[in-house]
């Protein structure tokens, strides 16, 4: 069995409880057993929505995440998942009804443990577009056909399909320790 060169994972409802730092059951154990390099690719349009609402209705805007609150959440998640080497985030909300901030430079820094954080306001990064996935493949020098993407949504599947990247739909159900290895073997046997 040839292992994937890179495992891409959506964040909310794939690796972690939606909008929380808590991991879903079995994720840490299954990723540790597989031993593959992992990058998180996640739509986080709440950053864009929060910017919009903090300008219009500040109280409403406080409900949404900021880059700093995402950083704190991802510090906790990546500390629990040492296989994660990079995190890619799409801040764009997915429509043009909300004003974008005047400063829209990509946000890059290192999380604890040296994990690369790269967030972008580019609409092309928001899944179902494949911009985030392309950036991850470039950063890891991986052909998309050598990368496996796990996600919970149609947008995840569509982004992977655009690149010819193997994709598996994941639910919030608990993973057994050998879950990833077994699923990869099934995927490989079917191709």
Contact call for residues 122 and 105 (beta carbons, < 8 A): no
Whose tokens are 């031993």? That residue is: 35
Is residue 190 over pLDDT 90? no
Band of the pLDDT at 2, cuts 50, 70, 90? confident
Domain ranges of the chain: 6-172
Mean pLDDT over 82-108 rounds to: 91
Architecture of domain 6-172: 3-Layer(aba) Sandwich (3.40)
For residues 139 and 133, the answer to whether their CB atoms sit within 8 Å is no
Phi, psi of 104 (to 5 degrees): -125, 30
pLDDT at 130 over 60: yes
Crossing angle, helix 179-190 and helix 27-34, to 10 degrees?
A: 60
Residue that is written with structure tokens 């399909």 in the block:
161
Would you state the pLDDT for residue 80? 97
Is residue 154 within 8 Å of 128, Cβ to Cβ? yes
Residue 12, strand partner residues: 16
| Structure confidence by residue, pLDDT tens digits, 42-81 | 999 888 888 888 888 989 889 988 999 999 999 999 999 9
Read off the pTM.
Answer: 0.94
């Amino acid at each position: 069995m040839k292992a994937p060169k890179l495992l891409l994972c959506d964040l909310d409802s794939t690796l972690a409880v939606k909008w929380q730092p808590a991991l879903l059951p079995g994720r840490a154990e299954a990723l540790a057993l597989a031993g593959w390099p992992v990058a998180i690719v996640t739509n986080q349009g709440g950053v864009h929505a929060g910017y919009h609402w903090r300008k219009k209705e500040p109280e409403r805007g406080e409900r949404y995440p900021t880059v700093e609150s995402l950083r704190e959440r991802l510090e906790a998640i990546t500390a629990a998942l040492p296989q994660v080497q990079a995190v890619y985030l799409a801040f764009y909300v997915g429509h043009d009804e909300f004003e974008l901030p005047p400063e829209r430079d990509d946000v890059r820094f290192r999380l604890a443990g040296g994990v690369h954080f790269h967030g972008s306001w580019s609409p092309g990064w928001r899944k179902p577009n494949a911009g985030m996935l392309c950036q991850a493949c470039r950063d890891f020098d991986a052909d998309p056909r050598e990368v496996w993407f796990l996600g919970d949504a149609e947008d995840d599947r569509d982004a992977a399909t655009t690149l010819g990247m193997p994709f598996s739909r994941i639910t919030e159900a608990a993973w057994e320790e050998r879950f990833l290895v077994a699923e990869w073997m099934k995927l490989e046997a079917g191709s």
